[in-house]
Chains A and B, each alone.
Chain A
């Protein structure tokens, strides 16, 4: 009888937990707007704009902490060579939509990645030619490492071991080993690499190359290029890249081509090209892989792609010159 009571209690508790609505901030999309200096907050279910967070000058790179409680936004001033108070990573409490802290991440931080445990932030400093490692518990800069010329994209492997930093002028990817916080390898990719993303199993990395119009597929265990896939017949200007949660598809935001390419990870074939808003750079995917979102810099909006049909199912207004997008996990 006691066992039956316990089972009933567990069932009731389980049902209650299932019926309980998730906190509103668990279902949000955040778009950084480079020109208007703010972040647009969008409800993931209704796709309605539910808020706007003023963060500071030139917000670009944007990521949620692994626990979803903090939103990090890269800010920078208009002097790329001098580090000022306007160069920072803003920390937003997503429960209140308020900026609660600003961390240093070197001069002109643009893109960054977070360690899986949420403790370390790795940022590229474009004009200083460095990558900065910041301890998010203390806000202190742990290390500043020399990487390629004009570093841009940053990606952290799922196990947190490797950080890839692309560099636009040297056409390189610098590999940081997080066990020693130093650059241990550098490899050549195609012309003007912009962003990188790892597969969920950590075996592959995907690097977009804006001028060559290609997606480079790299062996992320040996840090070597395996293949280079032309996008949109080589006419794409790819920037953002994201991998589906099951690792089977790679979605690339084609910038001035105004489209998203869908690449099959297993065959390296481009299987769809989907027209979106103007100049999509930032791209993100929902936790279940059902929707892909693009930040469209010249149409001031965000496109929503249904990955089951590979069609745009909604366009949501954002601020001025949207740059990046982050989605609640």
Chain B
């Protein structure tokens, strides 16, 4: 009997994934790709304060990207660095310089996000800001900086579309009670791995690693600038278990995504609903309802 349980496999690997089949790395130096056409290696970095529970979303994303990489015969590495405030920029520079990472996930605070954005722009890496709404950043429009965290404009628009929303209602990018579109599976996997609920920032971290790995494979590049071009090309469509195609707005580099209206710790609405598509594309629907076109970087 050939019995291998995936969860056992994940437990053995530990928290943050590093998958380095030596033979494949050697092959990668020669060809850059596996026989199936996928990249031989994907190197990402994460800059986040140690001990912050939101880091666990990034860790789940790394586990799962590592699992997918193993299926492709690809090496996946997520280098993790501790860093808060302005020191986050130094940590990002070290990841780029010492480990040649293609992209960095981070931005636990506005100061950290600005510092990482500046480092990524100076050293040719893609930065996915998962922790801070873009309006709070000085460096929101830095080349190569993409925003996973929902902007404040998106949150205002989403909340404004719900009539008679109760006092205290708020808009969020994720909630642990979500079930539809496979959301329940992600929530369950996170609970299983970490023994608590997946938070909003935890989901941002998870999807950031997932989509960076996916995009690197599909774009077939180890170049940060080519990866950044791919992310806004219109071909980069992602599933985040929200029922609509997630994509980046080409001007703001803001992730288009549905939001949820929560009142009394209960989700009372999704904005927009997938059923509202009509004749629109997913991007058009998300732009029209979620305010994705506001505050562009143009000019």
Contacts and interface: CB of A to CB of B under 8 A. Distances in A.
Contacts of B37: 187, 224
* SS of A interface (majority): loop
A128 to B, nearest CB: 6
B281 interface: yes
A143 B189 contact: no
B239 A170 contact: no
B266 interface: no
A148 interface: yes
A287 B275 CA distance: 34
A142 interface: yes
B6 A128 contact: yes
A168 interface: yes
A66 interface: no
Nearest to A140: B1
A149 B9 contact: no
B2 A172 contact: no
Given A186-B72, A212-B245, A256-B274, A80 B185 contact: yes
Contact of B71 (A127, A144, A174): A174
Given A149-B64, A170-B68, A211-B245, A81 B1 contact: no
A234 B279 CA distance: 10
A127 B186 CA distance: 9
Contacts of B11: none
Contacts of A130: 4-6
A272 to B, nearest CB: 19
Given A81-B188, A129-B6, 18 more contacts: A81-B7, A127-B185, A127-B189, A130-B5, A141-B3, A144-B5, A150-B182, A150-B185, A169-B210, A170-B64, A170-B67, A188-B38, A188-B218, A191-B239, A192-B239, A211-B243, A235-B281, A235-B282
A87 interface: no
Nearest to B36: A187
Contacts of A126: 185
Interface in A160-201: 168-172, 174, 181-183, 185-188, 190-192
A224 B34 CA distance: 13
A191 B277 CA distance: 18
A181 B2 CA distance: 9
A152 to B, nearest CB: 9
Given A128-B6, A191-B245, A183 B238 contact: no
B4 A144 contact: yes
- Interface size class on chain B is 35 or more
Range for the number of chain A residues in contact with chain B: 35 or more
A127 B72 contact: no
Nearest to A80: B188
Given A142-B1, A145-B2, A146-B6, A186 B71 contact: yes
Interface string A124-158: 00111110000000000111111111100000000
A130 B279 CA distance: 38
Interface of B: 1-7, 9, 36-38, 64, 67-68, 71-72, 182, 185-186, 188-189, 192, 210, 214, 217-218, 237-239, 241, 243-245, 274-275, 277, 279, 281-282
A169 B214 CA distance: 10
A325 B38 CA distance: 36
B235 to A, nearest CB: 10
Contacts of B245: 191, 211-213
Interface string A225-245: 000000001110100000000
20 contacts: A80-B188, A81-B192, A128-B6, A129-B7, A141-B1, A142-B2, A144-B1, A144-B3, A146-B4, A148-B71, A172-B71, A187-B37, A188-B217, A188-B218, A190-B237, A211-B237, A224-B36, A235-B281, A256-B274, A256-B275
Nearest to A108: B185
B213 to A, nearest CB: 9
Contacts of A81: 7, 188, 192
